[in-house]
A = this chain, B = another copy of it.
Amino acid sequence: MIEVPPADEPFSLDELQKAARNHGLPLEALRYDVTPAGLHYLLIHYDIPATDAATWRLDIAGNVARPLSLSMDDIMGRPARTLAVTMECAGNGRVRMPNRVRSQPWIVEAVGTAEWTGTPLADVLAEAGVGADSVEIVFGGIDHGIQGEVEQDYQRSLTLDDARREEVLLVWAMNGQPLLPQHGAPLRLIVPGWYGMASVKWLNRIEAVTSPFQGYQQVTAYRIQQSEDDPGEPLTRMKVRALMTPPGIAEFPSLNRLVDAGPVTLAGRAWSGFAPITRVEVGVDGVWHEADLGAANGSFAWRPWSWTWQAEPGEHVLSCQATDAAGNRQPLAPFWNVQGMGNNYIQTVPVRVR
């Protein structure tokens, strides 16, 4: 049997305030290859800033031969590429972590897949002439607030090798429309395969640096730490995960699920930032079955899966477990870490069959 890990109730008003702002993907929206506007998860640390595309500038500076200052017209006039990218919050799954930190209370739904349109970062870096002794590229947004007692703009870095990967884009459109304010309008970074914290929104500056970036979001936040003093391991690429659309119908307000007996198609999506998905198993009361896998929309988007269950009356617990080509497989239970990051344990869906 698979036990549903208990959520560590209760929740605080603090947590609820973040849940009311930063929403997840309603799981029935796993049906869409590309997540429609407004259903993609959002995690915004501070306020959504007011921006104006007409006056926006992206400055490329630091250890470069030719500093650049680009308008949105300059950027959108460059060669464009569109990529379908699955993005997940590094804090997804935090709620069932024992003794969780009081941050964004994600259950399992902090994910989405969008078609992002932008221009390759690598070409812009080449044009600026990044100095050979640079070690990282730092990306700065204009979203501004306080975290860990440090007043800051949101900033993250990538190593030079990671920044130069061909799939890393400077993005101005999502699903064929101009970026929405909450997704970083007018310009953001997209780092396919990585947790969302790398894809800096409201991007207005890029800096080549000759020593590793020591900003708060890089060296303090977004780490798997065993204690407050542990420097921890940085989150990078998304760990392997599968999600299922809960079958049947919902009861409101409990959101309990009721399913009719007989054949029931269980379906969902699976993804990993490390390697292609090679296997999804579907659990029914702890007995596992091989799901059929569909084709992913490119190298950076989730892969559909399905399996037909012969549902019999009674109470059941459904689950799903993904494996990737690098041999990564989802754990069966959450694990504790200070920030509640990287918890890719399996989803469990209790249902009643009538």
Contact = CB atoms under 8 A, between A and B. Distances in A.
A181 B47 CA distance: 26
Contact of A38 (B20, B145, B182): B182
Given A10-B10, A26-B44, A253 B18 contact: yes
Contacts of A253: 14, 18, 102-104, 147
A26 B46 contact: no
A120 interface: no
A320 B182 CA distance: 26
A48 B28 contact: yes
A106 interface: yes
A288 interface: no
Contact of A21 (B11, B26, B180): B26
A181 B39 contact: yes
> Copy number in this complex?
2
Contacts of A29: 48, 181
A12 interface: yes
Contact of A9 (B12, B24, B177): B12
Interface in A7-56: 7, 9-24, 26, 28-29, 31-32, 36-40, 42, 44-48, 50
A287 interface: no
A252 B251 CA distance: 34
Nearest to A35: B181
A11 B32 CA distance: 31
A250 interface: yes
A16 B94 CA distance: 13
Interface in A130-167: 144-147, 151
Contacts of A9: 10, 12-13
A15 B10 CA distance: 10
